[in-house]
Every structure is written in structure tokens, then in C-alpha cells.
């Protein structure tokens, strides 16, 4: 089936707001705190003045290198705090946020449409057994929590042990339990699951542009994504399944995602994730592809 092109953004996220963006920065509200962070996609001019950004913000990230930096606090705020996300027609998920040295805070709000999709698909299987769900490159686990909240048997994999510990905290904050935590190289794990004959109803992968596993295994998106996609397709249940592939890499087109999934006869869709700002901008934050089979009408 031809893949329709979609633009997805969070429809309802009370604890998050993109206020303004431009000049390679973004001004965001996470809960009650306002943060200024670098954003390489925001190549246009800001709508609000620099003085207004400074007046509103609690903290600003100051890059010291390509990968790290420090935070400059302009108003009192804690180094970590908690926000919530209400799944449509579902429970409320909770996330611990923190000011990390890598400019991230522990959540990617533009991913919220995927959390909704995962919850809807798995919840639609209620009463028909326990679906298995695999989250690869899982970070702090929002997708894992959405799947678990819907009743799935969840495997959460990331190569960074402190990040997996952070995801466990989010599980506990969300009053969930019994997620299987795996600290391993994603490709090694997938190859082993294929040999075991393990099958999953749902899989999401959100690989970085560059990375490495616990034993310094190398990951480069352009070099490794084809093998990864071909491998995870082998892990899907034959009759009823879904797969989400999401990437954030400058210059990585959604057409690449469409081509990678071209061989699939399932319902397919590709597109972009973005965040709308209060000042009228649409900030692009990644491309995605989804395939699904056995679910009938697609839910967003």
C-alpha cells in the first residue's frame, strides 16, 4: 500500500509548550520551568525579542563542545523535577526530568503521537492475550511506559545503564511495573532474538545518528539502519503487528524511511514530527515511518 505522508505533533500535552524558536535556539516550558536550548533546525529569526526570552527563562544551556555543555540558571529552579503526560483515553504517565550535560532533559515531546499510537494499538488487543512490545534505543522509556500501561509484555533496551535506571524511575513514578530492562547493543540483541525465534506484536526504534554499545560496538545510522530494519521485520508477528521507525538526523529524508519499508505489504505511512510554537512556527524534529497489519482502521 502506498505510504501517505503525514505531519504529526502532540495534540494535548499540558506540561509542555514550545513558546518560541529561532536563531538556532528554542524556548520551551516543561511543567512550570522555562528552558532555552540549542536547536540546529531553527534557522529562522526568533519572533520574541532576546530580552523577552531572558525575562521568561529559568535556565539556558551553554554549549562547550559539539556534545556537551553547562546550564546557566537565571531564576531559581531544581536540577530535576517531574512532569506528566495524559494518554488519550488512558492513564497518566510521569517522567523525571533533569538538566543533563548533553542538553537533553529526559524526554522528547514530539514523540507523544507515537506514545498515543502504541497505547491505542496494544489496548485494542485487550482480552486477546498479552502482546509483546520491544523498545530499541529506548532512552528514558516513554514508549515503554505507554506499552506497559496498555497491557503489553515490554522489553526495554538501551546501551547506557544510567539511562535505563532513569527509565526504571519513570516506570515507578507512573505506578507501573514488570518491564524487562536490557543493557546491550541493539543489533546484537536483535540478531539473538531472531535465532531464538522470538516474535513481537509491536516494535519501536529511534536510533541516534551516531552511538556505541556497552562494549564499544559502533553504530552509524547511514551504515547500519538497513540491516537493523531488515532484522526487526523478522521479529514481527505475522498476522497482527506494528513497527515504528523514527530518526532525528539533519538531512535524513522521510523518503529514506519510505524506501526502507517499501517491500512491506502492510499499511504504511511516513512523514515528519514537529512541534508548533506559540509564536506560529513549526519546528521539524525528525522523520518517521510506521507499518501495521491486522488492525483495520489506523489510529493516530
CATH code of the domain in which 216 resides: 3.40.50.150
For residue 59, is it within any domain?
no
CA atoms lying within 13 Å on the CB side of residue 132? 10
Q: Which residues contact 139 (CB under 8 A, 6 or more apart)?
A: 108, 158, 163, 167, 206
What confidence tier does 299 reach under pLDDT thresholds 50, 70, 90? very low
Cα 104–chain centre separation: 12
Look at residue 275 in the predicted model and tell me its pLDDT: 96
What average pLDDT score do residues 172-190 get?
Answer: 97
Q: Please give the Cα distance from 217 to 180 (Å, whole number).
A: 22
Structural domain boundaries, residue 241: 110-293
For residue 231, is it within any domain?
yes
Q: Which of 295, 287, 294, 290 is nearest to 253 (CA)?
A: 287
Q: Which residues contact 246 (CB under 8 A, 6 or more apart)?
A: 111, 114, 204, 205, 206, 273, 286, 287, 288
Is 142 in contact with 107 (CB distance < 8 Å)? yes
For residue 204, is it within any domain?
yes
Q: Which residues contact 165 (CB under 8 A, 6 or more apart)?
A: none
Residue 300 has pLDDT above 60, yes or no: no
Q: Please give the Cα distance from 243 to 27 (Å, whole number).
A: 32
User: Residue 289: phi, psi to the nearest 5?
Assistant: -140, 145
Q: Which of 127, 292, 129, 130 is nearest to 204 (CA)?
A: 292
What average pLDDT score do residues 148-154 get?
Answer: 97
Residue 288 has pLDDT above 70, yes or no: yes
Q: Tally the domains of the chain.
A: 1
For residue 95, is it within any domain?
no
For residue 213, is it within any domain?
yes
Q: Please give the Cα distance from 210 to 194 (Å, whole number).
A: 24
For residue 121, is it within any domain?
yes
For residue 57, is it within any domain?
no
- Which is higher by pLDDT, 222 or 290? 290
Q: Residue 20 in 3-state DSSP?
A: strand
Look at residue 2 in the predicted model and tell me its pLDDT: 56
- Which is higher by pLDDT, 52 or 1? 52
Amino acid at each position: 500500500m502506498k505510504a501517505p505522508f503525514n505531519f504529526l505533533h502532540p495534540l494535548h500535552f499540558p506540561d509542555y509548550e514550545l513558546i518560541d524558536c529561532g536563531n538556532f535556539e528554542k524556548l520551551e516550558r516543561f511543567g512550570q520551568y522555562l528552558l532555552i536550548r540549542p536547536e540546529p533546525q531553527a534557522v529562522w529569526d526568533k519572533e520574541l525579542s532576546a530580552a523577552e526570552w531572558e525575562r521568561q527563562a529559568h535556565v539556558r544551556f551553554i554549549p562547550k563542545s559539539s556534545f556537551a555543555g553547562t546550564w546557566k540558571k537565571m531564576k531559581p529552579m531544581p536540577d530535576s523535577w517531574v512532569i506528566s503526560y495524559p494518554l488519550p483515553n488512558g492513564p497518566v504517565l510521569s517522567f523525571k526530568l533533569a538538566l543533563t550535560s548533553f542538553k537533553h532533559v529526559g524526554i522528547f515531546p514530539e514523540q507523544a503521537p507515537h506514545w498515543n499510537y502504541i497505547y491505542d494499538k496494544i489496548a485494542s488487543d485487550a482480552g486477546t492475550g498479552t502482546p509483546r512490545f520491544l523498545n530499541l534505543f529506548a532512552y528514558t522509556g516513554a514508549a515503554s511506559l505507554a506499552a506497559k500501561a496498555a497491557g503489553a509484555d515490554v522489553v526495554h533496551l538501551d546501551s547506557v545503564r544510567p539511562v535505563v535506571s532513569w527509565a526504571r524511575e519513570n516506570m515507578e513514578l507512573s505506578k507501573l511495573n514488570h518491564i524487562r530492562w536490557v543493557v546491550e547493543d541493539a543489533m546484537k540483541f536483535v540478531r539473538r532474538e531472531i535465532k531464538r525465534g522470538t516474535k513481537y506484536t509491536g516494535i519501536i526504534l529511534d536510533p541516534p545518528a551516531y552511538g556505541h554499545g556497552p562494549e564499544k560496538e559502533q553504530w552509524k545510522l547511514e551504515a547500519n539502519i538497513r540491516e537493523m530494519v531488515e532484522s526487526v521485520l523478522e521479529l514481527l508477528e505475522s498476522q497482527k503487528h506494528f513497527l515504528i521507525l523514527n530518526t532525528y538526523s539533519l538531512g535524513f529524508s522521510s523518503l529514506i524511511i519510505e524506501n526502507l519499508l517499501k517491500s512491506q505489504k502492510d499499511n504504511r505511512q511516513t512523514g515528519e514530527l514537529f512541534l508548533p510554537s506559540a509564536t506560529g512556527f513549526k519546528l521539524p524534529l525528525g522523520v518517521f515511518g510506521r507499518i501495521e497489519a491486522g488492525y483495520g482502521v489506523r489510529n493516530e
